[in-house]
Structure 1
Amino acid sequence: MSIPSAVLFDVDGVLVDSYPAYRRIWRRWATLRHLDPDLVWSQTHGRRPVDTIAVVAPHLDVDAEYRLVREIMAAEGDAFPVYPEAAAVLSLLDGQPWGVVTSGRTPTVRQRLRAGGLPDPPVLVDSGQVRRGKPSPEGYLRAARLLDTPAANCLVIEDAPAGIEAARRAGMTVVAVRTTHPADELTGAHHRVDTLGETIPLLTDWLNGTRPARRERRLRAGGIVPPRC
């Protein structure tokens, strides 16, 4: 009997093209607080907003500043489109266990996915469900438990170094999409592609493979080769 395999996605930079809007949001907040916008931006990738604020402005009240960030975000309106390939990618997962692990909040994530015509994830682990955000593996491990799937049988699609580290620490295989970071910052991933659409052959290989509970993973050009029972 084969053991179920699951696919887990980050949201921002993977399913939702949110980075242009987020860059404006964080630049605006940094300017209001007399901080270096580039330094602030460098600390946002793959992190919960509260963690970013705590790192770049430890002298400020995190909760109050997070409320301000969300007010600035609300002014962005509909500036958070899904990637064009997202619907085709998720259509591969009909009947398969999948979910998202995000540094955002559930209502916001669902609103953006629905606005882009995407389905609600069967499992959604957001920033409020973990004590520590990425690069801690806590979110990915929680998603695996909720899907009743061993961590070793989870394939993760990520775009940021912190998310890649989180998934690797959870014992999962990681595919990085080069949507927000250059290739040399994504070397922790098992495989790298340019766009979300290019993950389709990898997802197909993963979902068609038979995977024992403990095994080694090998990568080949163009696909993931799962050992057979």
Structure 2
Amino acid sequence: MVKFEQYSGVLFDLHGVIADSSQYHLQAWHQLADELGIAWSSTLNETLLGMDRPEAVVTILKAGHRLDQYSEEERRKLGEHKNQMYLELISHMSPVDVLPGIIDFLDELKAQHYGVVLASASVNAPLEIKKMQLENYFPLIVDPATLSHNKPDPEIYQRAAEMLKLPSDKCIGIEDSKTGLTAVNRSGALSVGVGETAEIASATVKFHSTNELTLAGIREQIDRH
């Protein structure tokens, strides 16, 4: 039986959980598609979030039936070009981009001596954390470049738990997407979903917004299970 007391680590996704920087990613991907003459669609808008850069480039090129026109090296350069556009967009990030309630929750975790790790698929996560002045909360950040598999594979959450020297089942993983929650669930961590009902259906603990995130709120839902 799951008990709240067994958890001593919290593993955070970034986009949609700590900051709404996913909008900048989509804007940069949209710009790349426009430059390539590939029509943007609601499908691309929904599927690109959470993908790593090479996978996203392939997805956009496939949408425009252009994949066979680009070598692997050319696709890599397209990804780098998108990243430069993204870096320009997030250069304006600041503490005002932190989602509601997150600072209070991080302060609560610190006061209660929980271990905290950032488990984001974005290689730019350390820069975003710095822009939002959250470095003191996240001394530990998984480097996605060291991983073999991206979400929904559980590797990133298993690595995050290892950084805390904890087994995954002693950790709580917080996500806002189906893909991310699949990764958390597969890792063995307790899944906490934040966001729209359909998107977080697979989470064990569910909140509509980051403003609701508290240890007491997590405990209450675990006890109900």
Equivalent residue letter for 1:153: K
* 1:40 corresponding residue in structure 2: 44
Equivalent residue letter for 2:29: W
* 1:24 corresponding residue in structure 2: 27
Backbone CA RMSD of aligned residues: 2.3
For structure 1, which segment, 127-136 or 3-12, has the greater mean C-alpha deviation from structure 2 after superposition?
Answer: 3-12
Check the 8 A contact 1:17/1:82 in 2, yes or no: yes
* 1:103 corresponding residue in structure 2: 121
3-state secondary structure, aligned to 1:157: strand
Shift of the alpha carbon at 1:204?
A: 6.3
For structure 1, which segment, 86-95 or 150-159, has the greater mean C-alpha deviation from structure 2 after superposition?
Answer: 86-95
3-state secondary structure, aligned to 1:64: helix
Equivalent residue letter for 1:99: V
User: 1:177 and 1:23 mapped to 2: Cα distance?
Assistant: 20
3-state secondary structure, aligned to 1:104: coil
Equivalent residue letter for 2:30: R
Q: Deviations over 1:156-201 (max 9, x none)?
A: 11011110001111111111111xxx31122111122111121214
Match of 1:63 among 50, 64, 76: 76
* 2:145 corresponding residue in structure 1: 128
Equivalent residue letter for 1:100: L
TM, length-normalised to structure 2:
0.81
User: 1:62 and 1:127 mapped to 2: Cα distance?
Assistant: 19
User: 1:203 and 1:54 mapped to 2: Cα distance?
Assistant: 40
Check the 8 A contact 2:33/2:60 in 1, yes or no: no
User: 1:145 and 1:127 mapped to 2: Cα distance?
Assistant: 14
Check the 8 A contact 1:159/1:177 in 2, yes or no: yes
3-state secondary structure, aligned to 2:55: helix
Equivalent residue letter for 1:225: D
Shift of the alpha carbon at 1:223?
A: 2.5
3-state secondary structure, aligned to 1:121: coil
Shift of the alpha carbon at 1:116?
A: 2.1
Match of 2:169 among 127, 147, 152: 152
Cα gap change, 1:63 to 1:176, in 2 (>3 Å): same
User: 1:115 and 1:73 mapped to 2: Cα distance?
Assistant: 14
Cα gap change, 1:43 to 1:126, in 2 (>3 Å): farther
Cα gap change, 1:203 to 1:126, in 2 (>3 Å): farther
3-state secondary structure, aligned to 1:225: helix
User: 1:197 and 1:85 mapped to 2: Cα distance?
Assistant: 4
User: 2:12 and 2:21 mapped to 1: Cα distance?
Assistant: 15
For structure 1, which segment, 156-165 or 3-12, has the greater mean C-alpha deviation from structure 2 after superposition?
Answer: 3-12
Q: What stretches of structure 2 of length at least 5 have no aligned partner?
A: 62-66
User: 1:200 and 1:114 mapped to 2: Cα distance?
Assistant: 24
User: 1:97 and 1:226 mapped to 2: Cα distance?
Assistant: 25
Shift of the alpha carbon at 1:111?
A: 2.7
